[in-house]
Structures are given as structure tokens and as C-alpha cells.
Chain A
Amino acid sequence: MIDYDSPDFWSDLFEVLLKGTLETLYMTGIATVITILVGLPLGILLVGTEKGAFLERSFGPVWVARTINRVVGFVVNVGRSVPFIILMIALIPLTRLIVGTFVGTTAAIVPLTIIAIPFFARMVEIAVNDVAPGLYETADSLGATKGLLIRRVLLTEGLPAILLGVSTTITSIINFSAMVGVVGGGGLGNVAVTYGFQRYSWIHIVFVVVILFAIVQIVQIVLTRIATRVSHRSSTAVLPKDAELTINPAQGVAT
């Protein structure tokens, strides 16, 4: 049991929460950066290698692009359908290979990234699919390369939706990072388990909930605001509300 009347209680609490928060931000931050770096190209690849799409002939014969599409699509679907807790266990050998150990905050980044990449890739796919088809033809008529098409057309026109996808992905990673805490991954999840669950400190739980809520809110507000700013589709820009996106922690599915 925790002694709430101990003179060191509040300073200990502060220290524990600060450490947990920093660990959560560290895990989430690194995982988000890697997820974007890998998931963005993957999402574009998914759209581009579809039948008749803009990258169909960029890999030599059409069957190569078709195969890439099937393989990437399959991997993404597998990644999205395996519950995180199982994926985390399944990835232990890989985590050990990359980080050297499978416990601890840094080690947790590996499964967090692996679960978030397919999730984010699908969001990029949806965003890019929403770009008006006439723009591909326009870029072609101007003699634009595929690289320019991706940078100047797909990414700029899809940017608002991609940013909202980033927001949802970060929320999702924070969500999973708490689960990592259960198996010794560190972060606010670990605080909740060691202090709240094992030592029955409701005060720790309350603070963990408040801090997590604050982080998610800040991420969503900031990214939604940027998304609205870069979107000029109509003078009264209407974007899908991030609040409508719900997450199923078992699978990390957003609808």
C-alpha cells in the first residue's frame, strides 16, 4: 500500500509521473516518426500499384506492380488483424534482434511501430484515393514525372486527410504504448500497473488518465488545426471531425 500521508508522497508522485510521461512521449514520438517514414511511401505504393494506377508501369512489366500490390496489401491486412498483445509477443525475436532486448522502453518501440505502420498506410491510401482523378491526367499532360506527381499533387491535395491520419495514428500508438507498460515497457502504462493496479493507488490512476487525455487532446487539436489551415478545398473548409474516429484497442481499427 502507498502511504498518502508520507511527506515524500507528492514529490515521489511527480517524479514517477514525469518519468512515465517522458517515456510515453519518447516511445510514441520515435514510433510515430518511423511509422510516417515507412507508412507514407507504403500507402502511396498501395494506391499506385493498383490496376491502371500511376505506378503500374514504374516497376517494369505490369505484373510486377500487381504483385507488389498484392504482397503489400496482404502484409498490411495481416498487420491490421493481429491483436497488439499477440503481435507484441510474436515480435519478441525481431525486437531482440534490433534492440538487443525485448523488455524496456526502447524495445517497446519495435512492436509499436510494426502495429502502426499498416494502420497509417491504410489511412494514407484513403487520403490519396480521395485526390480527384482528373489531377493525374493533368499532371501527365504537363509532362510531370511520377515523383513530381506524388510530391506536388498527391501529397499536397491529400495532406489534410494525411494529417488527420497522423493524429489518429498517434492516438493509437499512445493507446498501445500503455499496453506495453503491462509487460515492463515503461511509460504511463507501467505507472498505472505498478502503482495503480499492484499497489491500489487511485491517485496514480487519476493522474495517468488525465495526462493521457491531455496528450491526446493536444495532438488532435494541433493536427486538426494544421489540417484545416492547409486545406483550401472550399472557402468554408469542412473536414471530418477527428472525434468521430474511434479506436478498437484490440485491433487498432479506426472507423
Chain B
Amino acid sequence: MIELRNLRKTYGHGPRAVRALDDVSISVPAGEIFGVVGRSGAGKSTLLRTVNVLERPDSGTVTLDGTLMTGLEGGALRQARRSVGMVFQHFNLLANRSIQQNVEFALEAARVPRGKRASQAAEMLDLVGLKDRGGAYPAQLSGGQKQRVGIARALAAKPRVLLSDEATSALDPETTESILDLIRSINRELKLTVLLITHEMDVVKRICDSAALMENGAIVEQGELVEVIRTPGSKLAAQLFPLAAPADDEGPTVIDITFAGGTADRPVIARLAREHELDVSILGATVERIAGTQAGRTRLALPVAGEAAAAVVADLRRQGLIVEYLKGGAA
């Protein structure tokens, strides 16, 4: 659905040039929610804006549903943009127009005949849970409600793709959840493909099917989340499971065990103590719901090193667990 190929973009010239996009390629299948995570300044925002060509890449191509977006200009580009909805961190609503008029503005931009705008806008407001609030002005709404209007506006022209620019970053945790749930439900109901950028890992965990990690304008890792968490050494997985780094004085061997899907509910540690007669200490553990499945990671300190530790790890791996050494051992 969304095909980004070898995108490059540099701002400025000479020694002060900033490479915002460094050979970025991403492919988002139809109906998927794809998250790009990274720190601010990593180039996420530029990347998102190349999709509807608000930013024109220096080289590379953007293809949406077979349409070469980077090949379009003027009226053709405007027309193509209408099939891509976009929501913004700071909502970007027209302050002096009512909620209803804000949504109607999108319909007017999309050349929907005047007579149909009111009913279509009302329909959209109903979809995002703001029925009967059409007459209110943005200043009278809470942050979460404003973002709902932003979503209604983005969806008004019935796009096939939704771009989300840190849509929940200005919201409190509870409101964030409700907005993410809304995005998830419209993704399913309207079969909408969603590309979102965020610096919050919780957003990825909660709604994304796939994710990419961006650093200094380049994608350093990407994949389906269910795969990512099974990948040893994955930076994305490390961020998905927030565990504190082990202290230096922990036992000779420290390992991370990742449980995903079917292995999540087995009594692994009890078995370890029983069969290997080891005093295992748990340094940290987390259970997350990632891409709709339960997944967890446990950090253990083993009182043994070398071959004894390797035997334990081999045994765990035979059980289908993903084991990584953090300290000691040769992976």
C-alpha cells in the first residue's frame, strides 16, 4: 500500500548540512498499522511528510496504492493528497470555526458538493464519538476531543491511508489510550492503512503491527512486532521491554529470556531451579501486550559461568524460548 524506496533528503548545504533521510525504504501492507519510532530529530517527521509529499525527497520514490506520489505536482498532487488523511500532534484546528465547520473544510477541499458536506461531516463526528458537539469551538474541547476532531477531519474525504504525526504526544496517558483505541478501531472498520510516527514505545506496543526504529535519518531496524521480539539483539525489542540495565556486581552470567505467544505461561524458572539445581535470581521482568499477544521478558542472574551456563541456555532454547546473554557466555 505504502511503498517508500531509497528516500534521501538533506537540509542545508556544505558542512552544516543535516541528513534528515538517509536511504530510507519502508513498505506498509494494506490494512496494517506501522509505527516509526525514534528520538526527536531522527527524521521521523520528515519521513512521514514525504508520504503525501508535504516534503519532497531529494531522491527516491513514494508509491501509494500504485500511484507514484513523488511524480505528481499541482492539481494532480492535491487530488492524490485527498486519499491520505493526516493528524497532527497539536491538532491544527481552525480556532474560529466550529467543529462541524472544521470537518466541512476537509470536504470542501476535497470538492464534495456543498449540499452533502453537512451530513458527511456529522457522520464523521459521530464516528469519532463527538455526535452533537458539532456546534462547539475547538477552545471549548479537551485535548482528546480536539484530536478526535482532527481524526474526523482527516477521515472526512474517505482516504485509504492515515498518517499520524505524534497524534497522542500532547495528551495524557488515559486520553492517549482512548485515541489509540479509536485509531485501531477505524483501522479495522474502514480497512485503513496507518503510518504513524511516535517517540513513545507504548504507542507501538498498543496498536502497531509492525515498527521501524529510526536513528540519524536511517532505519536501523524494522519488521513485524511478533518477529521483532523474537530477534536476538533487537534494539526495538529492548525498547519494547523496559528493563533496567544490570548492575556490575551481579552473578557471572546474566541472561534475558523472552517469552512470546505460546511459551508465555510455562513455569520456566521453577523448572530451572529444579532440574539444574540453580539459585536463579530475577533481576527484572516485564509482561507486555504487544501486537495483540502476550509477551514477556525476564532478566536472570545465574550463579554459574562458562559451559555450565551454556548448558542451561541450550536447555531453555530447546523449550522454544529466546535467550540472550547480557553478561558472560558466548552467544
Our pick among A140, A143, A156, A232 for the contact of B110 (Cβ within 8 Å) is A143
- B52 within 8 Å of A (CB atoms): yes
B81 at the interface (CB under 8 A from A): yes
B196: interface (CB < 8 Å): no
Interface string of A134-159 (1 = CB under 8 A from B): 11011111111100100011001101
Mark each residue of chain A from 222 to 255: 1 if its CB lies under 8 Å from any CB of chain B, else 0. Answer: 0000000011111100000000000000000000
- Among residues 65 to 90 in chain B, which have CB atoms less than 8 Å away from a CB atom of chain A? 78-82, 84-86, 88, 90
The reply to whether A134 and B88 contact each other, CB–CB distance below 8 Å, is: yes
What residues of A have a CB within 8 angstroms of the CB of B35 in the complex? none
Take A137-B54, A148-B109, A233-B139 as given contacts and tell me if A157 and B81 are in contact as well, using a CB distance cutoff of 8 Å.
Answer: no
Q: In the complex, which of the residues A134, A145, A156 contacts B90, with contact meaning CB atoms closer than 8 Å?
A: A134
Residue of B nearest to A153 (CB): B94
- From known contacts A134-B90, A233-B139, infer whether A143 and B96 are also in contact, taking CB-CB under 8 Å: no
Are A235 and B82 in contact (CB-based, < 8 A)? Answer: no
Chain B binding surface SS class: mixed
Q: With an 8 A cutoff between CB atoms, is B95 at the interface?
A: yes
Contacts A134-B88, A142-B157, A234-B139: A160 and B96 contacting too (C-beta < 8 A)? yes
Query: Could you tell me the distance between the alpha carbons of A138 and B209 in the complex, rounded to whole angstroms?
Result: 27
Size category of the B interface is 20 to 34
> Nearest Cβ in chain A — how far from B38, in angstroms?
20
| Choice from B52, B90, B137, B139 contacting A141 with Cβ under 8 Å | B52
The answer to whether the Cβ of B59 comes within 8 Å of any Cβ in the partner chain is: no
Per-residue contact bits, chain A 144-183, to B (CB 8 Å; 1 contact, 0 not): 1100100011001101100000000000000000000000
Verify B106–A232 contact, CB threshold 8 A: no
Contact: B96 with A156, CB < 8 Å? Answer: yes
- State the CA gap A141–B110 with chains docked (Å): 11
Q: Closest chain A residue to B52 by CB distance?
A: A141
Contact (Cβ within 8 A) B96 A140 = no
Most buried by A among B80, B96, B153, B157: B96
Does any Cβ of A come within 8 Å of B265's Cβ?
no
Taking the complex as formed, is B319 at the interface, i.e. its CB lies under 8 A from any CB of chain A? Answer: no
B109–A156 CB distance below 8 A: no
- Structural contact, A152 and B54, CB atoms closer than 8 A: no
Q: Is A132 an interface residue (CB 8 A)?
A: yes
> B81, A142: Cβ atoms under 8 Å?
yes
Given A132-B92, A145-B78, A159-B96, are A235 and B106 neighbors across the interface (CB < 8 Å)?
no
Are A232 and B95 CB-contacts (below 8 A) given A141-B54, A142-B110?
yes
Q: Judge whether A235 and B140 touch: CB under 8 Å.
A: yes
In the complex, per-residue mask of B207-237: 1 if CB is within 8 Å of any chain A CB, else 0:
0000000000000000000000000000000
CB within 8 Å of A: which of B303-319?
none
* 8 A Cβ contacts from A53-108 to B: none
Q: Does any Cβ of A come within 8 Å of B138's Cβ?
A: yes
Rounded to whole angstroms, the CA-CA distance of A235 and B136 in the bound complex is 11
Q: Which chain A positions have C-beta within 8 A of B289? A: none
B97–A139 touching, CB < 8 Å:
no
List which B17-59 residues lie within 8 A (CB) of chain A.
Answer: 52, 54
B94 with A143: CB separation less than 8 A: no
A152 closest partner in B (C-beta): B105
Q: Is the CB of B97 within 8 A of A143?
A: no
Q: Are A141 and B84 in contact (CB under 8 A)?
A: yes
Give chain B residues whose Cβ lies under 8 Å from the Cβ of A230. Answer: 96
Q: Is B82 a contact partner of A142 (Cβ separation < 8 A)?
A: yes
Name the residue of chain A whose CB is nearest to the CB of B163: A141
Q: Please pick, from A144, A148, A157, the residue contacting B95 in the complex, using a CB distance under 8 A.
A: A157
Query: Is B81 a contact partner of A141 (Cβ separation < 8 A)?
Result: yes
- Complex contact A232–B82 (CB within 8 A): no
Q: Assess the B105–A140 pair: CB atoms within 8 A.
A: no
Q: Which of chain B's residues has its CB closest to A159's CB?
A: B96
Known contacts A235-B139, A235-B140; A144/B109 CB under 8 A? yes
Contact B81 A232 (CB under 8 A): no
With A148-B108, A234-B139, A235-B139 as contacts: A140 and B95 at CB distance below 8 Å: no
Annotate B127-159 by CB proximity to A: 1 below 8 A, 0 otherwise: 000000000011110000000000001000100
A170 to chain B, nearest CB (A): 22
The answer for the CA separation of A14 and B138 in the assembled complex, in Å, is: 51
List the B residue with the shortest CB-CB distance to A235. Answer: B139
Min Cβ gap A129→B in Å is 16
* Pick from A137, A152, A160, A235: contact of B94, CB under 8 Å: A152
A15 to B256, CA, bound (A): 98
Contacts A141-B84, A156-B97, A159-B96; is A232 near B52 (CB within 8 Å)? no
A152 touching B138, Cβ below 8 Å: no
Contact of A140 among B54, B85, B137, B140 (CB under 8 A): B54
Whether B96 lies near A137 (C-beta < 8 A) is no
CA distance A135 to B86 in the complex (A): 12
Contact assessment for B95 and A138 in the assembled complex, using a CB-CB cutoff below 8 Å = no
- When C-beta atoms are compared, the residue in chain A nearest to B84 turns out to be A141
Chain A CB within 10 A, most for which of B88, B95, B139: B95
Tell me whether A232 and B137 are in contact (CB under 8 A): yes
Instruction: Establish whether residues A156 and B86, one from each chain, have CB atoms under 8 Å apart when the complex forms.
Output: no
- Rounded to whole angstroms, the CA-CA distance of A142 and B163 in the bound complex is 12
Closest 3 CB pairs of A and B: A144-B109, A232-B137, A143-B81
Would you list 11 pairs from A and B whose C-beta atoms are within 8 A, ordered by A residue? Answer: A132-B92, A137-B88, A138-B88, A141-B86, A142-B82, A142-B109, A143-B81, A143-B82, A152-B94, A153-B94, A233-B139
